[in-house]
Structure 1
């Protein structure tokens, strides 16, 4: 270290790869110049240096595609700004499909690209061969070509970002190992280095493969694990043309990057090899891992099939280097829920170069504004739970996640590894009834129920999957009779204390100062009016509430509650998720079924909608809450975990005369879509206001003391007609299957994208929901006067729009 290490900085970044350097660069662009980046060895020495340097723009969803698009735009001008070469060129990319399902995926991506605003052409095999002459197309059925994709030199790009950061005032210290964290009052306050302590207002963990271990020093969970990652470089290939695009054969798990007359062939193989289980050496720097030809042989054979000339070409380099992967194949970004002012940007799943520009930009804005600048939930670190940071879980899941990048991204696809982590106490009973389980936040949940003799497995497709008819029968049974679903995976919190009403009324947009036993549907809003949570509260006593939220929100919600509690408010917040099983009974015959099991009066007059009571059932005291997420008469039963199996059996026996059947989460989804019920994380997020989402009915603007986000909503109201609104759509054609991210057209122009979609069996066609934007203002008259289409796999279909639900819009079936 050639210069003295300062004793303080506003922001300290730990890790000198492309991510850390991008963050430092973008912080200085925002005027945050007191930035110090610390690297234990030299810049890029961990993973960045051996990256392939690909810069594609199309990702799995719109938000991530826009971040990748920004990266490409930044890299295109970075050399001119800094004087440091980046090696960036826009050579385009070609992705081929060898089966109809892969082609369907590529077409869906091409449709989404139109929303993101970059070109993506669907082409036939002959056109693909014209672009890539050495390509074997005998089994190719189609392809997409993205002319704006590119590639860069990872080391040069990182040095350019570092130079830009230093030009902006940031300081970079290499050969400076960070030993420990300084944490005070639950907040990051600095770092301990081998050369002295540094005080800081913000600490950012950009430590790559070391991020999990470094996170532990502040009690922060950063789930990621390194895996061996392979590529080979050929000798010179005389027939390899210059300036070819990067080519991907995802069905063969290989990509092909031409450069200087040679071909780099990289692999994203299933059954990957986790690495570094016993820790990573302190001396690891620009190191390689031993080769494993046997492991790669099938993929090299696939490469020779795709590029026959490789059969006559030698290999100049066989490379194996570590990359870090996360449990869900999405990187970890944002402020940690465990420690304030501690941010993370790590676990980039081998897409770090393409992601660095966008990730650095939004994280810098997050630090500056103290909130995410856009919807970043797919990569938000608050999505994680503690169990996901355990070594065994990460080891098992990492064998799968490396290859997931190139597997076909089917709707409803389930993880195969690290399963059975969290099981409801009803798991065995549901299994006997034919449950086919999916995995959500570690919970094994019944997604659908197989018929007797039917194989209990998914047959994936972008069309109607093998459980479509099962879903139809479950759906119709709930609509016409009675069904039961295990919703024990609900996140459940108890908040109590003498200041609980004041505390919760400030956080909740609706008025929760109601009578004991009343339920309140509400949102938790941020200062911009965006939706941070979508919950139901039950007042269980004068000074206590039970809060119920979605399965994926457990960590996020608890962090929101704790961070919004003022020091002088005396409340106690407890996570009760594991304390109660939830048995939900829904349908016109639900009252008849439950009345057989309790002395309580279940009539509408005695037990109105949105009321909750403790009642006796079987041998248990059960909290019965009359509420619905499917649009039918029904109750959620909160049962102490040890009593749930006997209560479940009693319900199934009592409902036998009404043909009671279990239903799964796919059916719950199709039912809620017909009712236009929103799902947090898909249909509503922290960048969608309650007004835009059509949920202003759940905000009480007149309650004493107001609520977080009230002023933002009032300001939006004062502007007049909203220019962005949540709309439901019903397809006129009964064949298309729509899921998410599909373009929505209004009068021939793209006006939004689908946030969720599902076939509605009562309505006989797919229902989609999403946001529509129109500068002239959106109201019912404009909606009815406009013509709407939704594009699925590059084909537009006419759809009928509606602000209200297509099924029972007057809620007559719920309140009976």
Structure 2
């Protein structure tokens, strides 16, 4: 069935130096994935699209494989294809309720009778949040108003003119019946249906607002002067879905075992085919064939679906839809949702906060005389030097890092060890006080979680994972625990504050204030003990993510400020420093530590990621064992490698991941993560290489359209023998 697909290509304009950098970065990433993207001059852009005024345009990106489709025709074609394969489509049916049996949806109640379910997909567009709440799900997707205008016919408009976007002017264009459609992304657009979307609302339009659209219209007159001459036929205003972070909301609902969600499709037509394929795989195979964690509903926490957060953040992101894609950019609406006990102390010490999982966390600390605010850039940002000093404080002296935002849980009961042996790839039958770094894998051997588990008693284990991963990792663990009452899972995140005391002089500081012996003999690496700091009870875990001697100090929240003040005073003679998360990333890159969701995901197994040493194949049975045994005996076809960019002086560009790694000039990988190592004085990147592409030399990295010689490294760049970590 015809979909009226027009493969006319698309243009994206850049009329500022910063936008040129953004386009060059996008083109480099496209090269990594084999997508054809051409950077063309303003004159070439005008030749493709003669109605453009390009006097201020510096560059454009051209995608020849792009185009546009008639949404109604495509929808009808998809529906017809589904019916040909046995689907039944029922229209005009109102959902009135649900019947659940524990964690399963048993029946959907409608005004035309009940529908029994084996599997259900909540794909109700802007009604998804309300229906989700009725079902016991929290779906962070709403609707906001979106306007676009339709011009009168434009004489001599080329038949195959590309669609085009001008993000600097925040507008987009596509042909429409001898004229064009011009839309844009307004700052402060109104929400739609905040107090409930009318049940009978269908395809109605909302009242248009020319005053609100005026700035975008003037931008359109500037970029395409012909529009002002031919006039406007109609200004259309209608609701458009939007999620808490502007991306799709997809996947298996954490709260129910047989319900999936597909909502928040702001750009639904563009992604509909791929989203449909991923959802079909998720339902029939148990997981999608691609890593789509940035779209997974489990990336959201409780607060994301709350009105107080969801509406302000969605409206901010809508207005920024064409905003500059700065590296390390933070959002500003609906901040301060979760704060550690150290928050006021750190603000007084000039912390510049970021947000992760709703938590306010220190990204970096502004030195006296500098403005404590982010100024992101495609080159070295304003925090670069300050982060370098924090990095050196950890490497050379001692530091305190607020890591309260860690997601933390206790798993307890007589069946706990057996359950964790089944879940974890590492050996869990370790003595009380052991700290175990492990992955939990799926049946295919892919890494579902990457965390530490501390045995705090014979029948109690303490789990620590990343700030934003609780809604992913904890449901995965709980879903695989026995239901017979022999194991109890308790989220402890809000009950414990965490300070990371780290650096070569960390033991000297800790010994000054701890009642117990913290020498290496008494308190070795990868062990945990309960100690007293000042007057506070603390679970001290000798592990870390920065590659230096250190302890994670897990503190009851009411004692937290006291512990910070005690350590800060004891550390003053040693030059103790406050350190933020941006320095953590530079430190872990040097040490070869990996980050789940970037360097390791369900797409990769531990042997590919260089983590095979954590896999205990001697255990008779754990999830993924068969696949991992094959990976070890037969070998893997790709491996995670580290690279440095070899350019003197050090590269001035912000290398943050997504760069193209080349071998003998041929693209072979995309950088999973990247940062500058302040100890090694070079930019560091990680990327997966096929075995046939692993060699001693011949590598380069393309960043922002420029190529730089690179060197592959076979071992961590810092302390490869772990002498500083374990000393």
Query: Is TM > 0.5 for Structure 1 vs Structure 2?
Result: yes
Partner of residue 272, structure 1: 189
Partner of residue 387, structure 1: 303
Cα distance in 2 for partners of 1:676, 1:336 equals: 34
Corresponding residue to 2:166 among 232, 238, 249? 249
Partner of residue 682, structure 1: 598
The structural deviation recorded for 1:401 is 1.7
Superposition misfits of 4+ residues, deviation over 3 angstroms: none
Gaps of 5+ in 1: 1-83
Q: Deviations over 1:11-51 (max 9, x none)?
A: xxxxxxxxxxxxxxxxxxxxxxxxxxxxxxxxxxxxxxxxx
Would you say the 8 A contact 1:268–1:403 is kept in 2? yes
Secondary structure of 1:578's counterpart equals: helix
Would you say the 8 A contact 1:272–1:398 is kept in 2? no
Partner of residue 390, structure 2: 474
Corresponding residue to 2:416 among 497, 500, 506? 500
Would you say the 8 A contact 2:440–2:448 is kept in 1? yes
Partner of residue 330, structure 1: 247
Corresponding residue to 1:552 among 457, 461, 468? 468
Cα distance in 1 for partners of 2:263, 2:544 equals: 39
Partner of residue 449, structure 1: 365
Partner of residue 622, structure 2: 707
Cα distance in 2 for partners of 1:458, 1:138 equals: 32
Cα distance in 2 for partners of 1:205, 1:803 equals: 47
The structural deviation recorded for 1:180 is 1.8
Cα distance in 1 for partners of 2:442, 2:484 equals: 21
Partner of residue 109, structure 1: 26
Partner of residue 632, structure 2: 717
Corresponding residue to 1:172 among 56, 67, 89? 89
Match status 1:100 vs 2:29: no
Alignment of 1:9-88 (within 5 A): 84-88=1-5
Partner of residue 260, structure 2: 343
Secondary structure of 1:425's counterpart equals: coil
Match status 1:522 vs 2:408: no
Match status 1:800 vs 2:715: no
Secondary structure of 1:103's counterpart equals: helix
Would you say the 8 A contact 2:640–2:686 is kept in 1? yes
Partner of residue 644, structure 2: 730
Would you say the 8 A contact 1:674–1:763 is kept in 2? yes
Partner of residue 550, structure 2: 634
Answer with 251-260 or 328-337: which moved more. Answer: 251-260
Cα distance in 1 for partners of 2:626, 2:251 equals: 26
Cα distance in 2 for partners of 1:741, 1:389 equals: 30
Instruction: State the TM-score, normalized to the length of structure 1.
Output: 0.87
Secondary structure of 1:217's counterpart equals: helix
Q: Deviations over 1:353-393 (max 9, x none)?
A: 01110000011011111223221110011111111111121
Secondary structure of 2:60's counterpart equals: strand
Q: Deviations over 1:780-804 (max 9, x none)?
A: xx432x4112211122221111232
Gaps of 5+ in 2: none
Answer with 388-397 or 520-529: which moved more. Answer: 388-397
Secondary structure of 2:213's counterpart equals: helix
The structural deviation recorded for 1:742 is 1.6
Cα distance in 2 for partners of 1:458, 1:674 equals: 24
Secondary structure of 1:173's counterpart equals: coil
Secondary structure of 2:537's counterpart equals: strand
Cα distance in 1 for partners of 2:638, 2:372 equals: 42
Partner of residue 646, structure 1: 562
Instruction: State the TM-score, normalized to the length of structure 2.
Output: 0.98
Secondary structure of 2:686's counterpart equals: strand
Cα distance in 2 for partners of 1:808, 1:747 equals: 30
Partner of residue 76, structure 1: none
Corresponding residue to 1:588 among 504, 508, 532? 504
Cα distance in 2 for partners of 1:97, 1:534 equals: 40
Secondary structure of 2:191's counterpart equals: coil
Cα distance in 2 for partners of 1:718, 1:633 equals: 35
Cα distance in 2 for partners of 1:174, 1:568 equals: 43
Match status 1:134 vs 2:46: no
Cα distance in 1 for partners of 2:621, 2:485 equals: 17
Q: Deviations over 1:114-142 (max 9, x none)?
A: 22222100112222222222222222111
Q: How many correspondences in the alignment? A: 724
Match status 1:610 vs 2:521: no
Secondary structure of 1:128's counterpart equals: helix
Corresponding residue to 2:235 among 296, 300, 318? 318
The structural deviation recorded for 1:641 is 0.4
Partner of residue 69, structure 2: 152
Supply the RMSD in Å over aligned alpha carbons.
1.2
Cα distance in 1 for partners of 2:107, 2:645 equals: 55
Cα distance in 2 for partners of 1:180, 1:531 equals: 37
Match status 1:307 vs 2:224: yes
